[in-house]
Amino acid sequence: MLENLEPKKVFEFFEELTKIPRPSYKEKQVSDFLVKFAEERGLEHYQDKLGNVIIIKEAAPGYENEVPVILQGHMDMVCEKEPGVDKDMDKEGVDVDYDDKFVFAKGTTLGGDDGAGVAYCMALLDDKELKAPRIEVVVTVAEEIGMDGATDIDLSMLKGKRLINLDSEEEGIFCVGCAGGSSVEISYEGKKEKAKGEILEFNYGGFTGGHSGSEIIRGGANAVLALARVIATVAASKDIRIESVTCNGKDNAIARSASARLLVSEADKVDIVEALLDEAEKINDEFATTDPEAEATVLMDGEVETEVFTKEESMKIATLILAEPNGIVAMSHDVEGMPETSLNVGVLSTEGNKVTMVYAVRSSVETAREALENRMNYIADAFGAVYKKNSPYPAWEYRKDSPLRDKMVEIYTEMYGTAPEVVTIHAGVECGILVQKIEGLDSISIGPNLYDVHTPAEKLDIESTRRTFEYVKKVLETK
């Protein structure tokens, strides 16, 4: 599909990556693909038990005395799809397409985050004419879930002290610092009982969603919060019992849709359906600007006898979801317009009598993140729920003295006639972990323009991909 796009090798390798299913924790196939790529080219390579891959290309003639450069990206992707799309993203790649401006996938996320960065690395490793110092490519697993690959990777074979991370999403924006974070799980085990009644399937979707780091500042709705609000409001005056609540999302993607199976009496079902839709319409009006496509529907699933949470427990579940904080908690006092601390609930599941929510927690201030995590723990404890913190990762602190940044800013300004914007961001970047593994590591994060990442609307800017690749080659070639 992409054979006519330039840079030819970049899009060739990118399309190969889109054919491989690569959700977090299920990267073996793509990891083996990268190893085979290295073997076919006779390149030094390493693959660890997690699936992290390191590929090394020695310096070109005349560049032996230049400082080695580490190029880094991640192989996993956020797997989201539009309702009704018949694709098992654990087992199938995406269906890629393009127009005159963008590459995108049909009905699913594209995986440009970070397939574009990995494709850059592969094209540079494959280029026999490239004049560059020793290149050490590091491609990690499980970045989207909590950066577990970067946390556990062994980098002892590397010689480089300068790292270019290729996981940013805005051309001309140089990231030199990021928030730290964690994944927090709140689970509640409630009392269930057998009951007869009519099952209503309440579906609430069409929300805009987006990356929970970079797009949390939009202030859009979260489908999990919206679902819980509707249920709690109606359950305050109606007999509603939850069989299950579900959001099959990711903690670092703002929830786009959520659903609940609710048991109601035959006599009350008409009033309850009307009340559910009325409450949803109020939320739709509130978020008409940020989430204009939001829509609630109710399906009748017939009369059954099934295990459901009691009325009291159903209300407790809905109010627990509402009681836990969500969204921006604090804005930065140092960087105008930048969130300091936030969290996002992106996963909601029911297994038997246990309901679980999973949150991505972020902050550029470690003590503020710890305070927020403690607050979540206190609230969970008050409800009789269980708090668990997973995969904490450190903030990446701004480095005042950075020869790599100075060189890259100078080259960018010469090439494009304008200086890049140097920023710190609220989203997590693996540089924060890697700088702790290599003493004195000088790092920066860049990338081409990607839009609507972590959603099925994700698209990769073709011309930006070309320009950014040319820029990276220029950086490597410049002594």
**CATH classification of the domain holding 194:** 3.30.70.360
10 Å CB burial of residue 209 (0-12, 13-18, 19+) is: buried
What confidence tens digit (pLDDT) does each residue in 201-225 have?
999 999 999 999 989 999 999 999 9
Domain of residue 255 covers 182-393
What confidence tens digit (pLDDT) does each residue in 224-239 have?
999 999 999 999 999 9
Last residue within a domain, chosen from 328, 362, 393: 393
In this predicted structure, what is the pLDDT of residue 428?
82
The answer to whether residue 19 sits within a structural domain is yes
The answer to whether residue 215 sits within a structural domain is yes
Residues 387, 420 share a domain = no
What confidence tens digit (pLDDT) does each residue in 48-69 have?
999 999 999 999 999 999 999 9
Residues 422, 319 share a domain = no
Task: Work out whether the CA dihedral 203, 204, 208, 209 comes out positive or negative.
Answer: negative
Query: What is the overall mean pLDDT for the chain?
Result: 96
The answer to whether residue 170 sits within a structural domain is yes
Q: Where does the pLDDT of residue 161 fall: very low under 50, low under 70, confident under 90, or very high at 90 and above? A: very high
The answer to whether residue 1 sits within a structural domain is no
119 and 137 Cβ atoms separated by less than 8 Å:
no
CATH number of the structural domain spanning residue 85: 3.40.630.10
Residues 359-373 have a mean pLDDT of 95
Residues 50, 19 share a domain = yes
Residues 6+ apart with CB under 8 A from 267: none
Q: Where does the pLDDT of residue 101 fall: very low under 50, low under 70, confident under 90, or very high at 90 and above? A: very high
Cα dihedral value 73, 76, 78, 82, nearest 10: 120
pLDDT at 246 over 90: yes
Residues 150, 216 share a domain = no
Q: Where does the pLDDT of residue 336 fall: very low under 50, low under 70, confident under 90, or very high at 90 and above? A: confident
The answer to whether residue 2 sits within a structural domain is no
Give the residue among 477, 474, 473, 434 at the shortest CA–CA distance from 162: 434
In this predicted structure, what is the pLDDT of residue 333?
87
pLDDT above 70: percentage of residues in the chain: 100
| E runs forming strands in 292-449 | 295-309, 327-331, 339-351, 354-363, 386-393, 421-425, 442-445
Last residue within a domain, chosen from 393, 427, 446: 393
Continuous H helices in 19-95: 28-40
Residues 469, 347 share a domain = no
Residues 303, 423 share a domain = no
Residues 417-438 have a mean pLDDT of 93
Last residue within a domain, chosen from 393, 415, 441: 393
Residues 370, 245 share a domain = yes
Residues 353, 268 share a domain = yes
Q: Where does the pLDDT of residue 449 fall: very low under 50, low under 70, confident under 90, or very high at 90 and above? A: very high
The answer to whether residue 366 sits within a structural domain is yes
In this predicted structure, what is the pLDDT of residue 391?
85
pLDDT at 302 over 90: no
Residues 367-393 have a mean pLDDT of 96
pLDDT at 335 over 90: no
- Read off the tokens for 337: 């317009």
pLDDT at 397 over 90: no
What confidence tens digit (pLDDT) does each residue in 1-22 have?
999 999 999 999 999 999 999 9
421 and 174 Cβ atoms separated by less than 8 Å:
yes
In this predicted structure, what is the pLDDT of residue 322?
98
The answer to whether residue 146 sits within a structural domain is yes
Residues 268, 217 share a domain = yes
Residues 308, 174 share a domain = no
Give the residue among 10, 1, 64 at the shortest CA–CA distance from 463: 10
- Which pTM does this prediction carry? 0.81
Residues 80, 228 share a domain = no
In this predicted structure, what is the pLDDT of residue 200?
96
Residues 168, 269 share a domain = no
The answer to whether residue 325 sits within a structural domain is yes
Total of domains in the chain: 2
Report the distance separating Cα 55 and Cα 353, nearest Å: 47
In this predicted structure, what is the pLDDT of residue 145?
86
- 339 DSSP 8-state letter: E
In this predicted structure, what is the pLDDT of residue 299?
96
Q: What are phi and psi of 443, to 5 degrees?
A: -135, 160
257 and 456 Cβ atoms separated by less than 8 Å:
no
Residues 388-409 have a mean pLDDT of 92
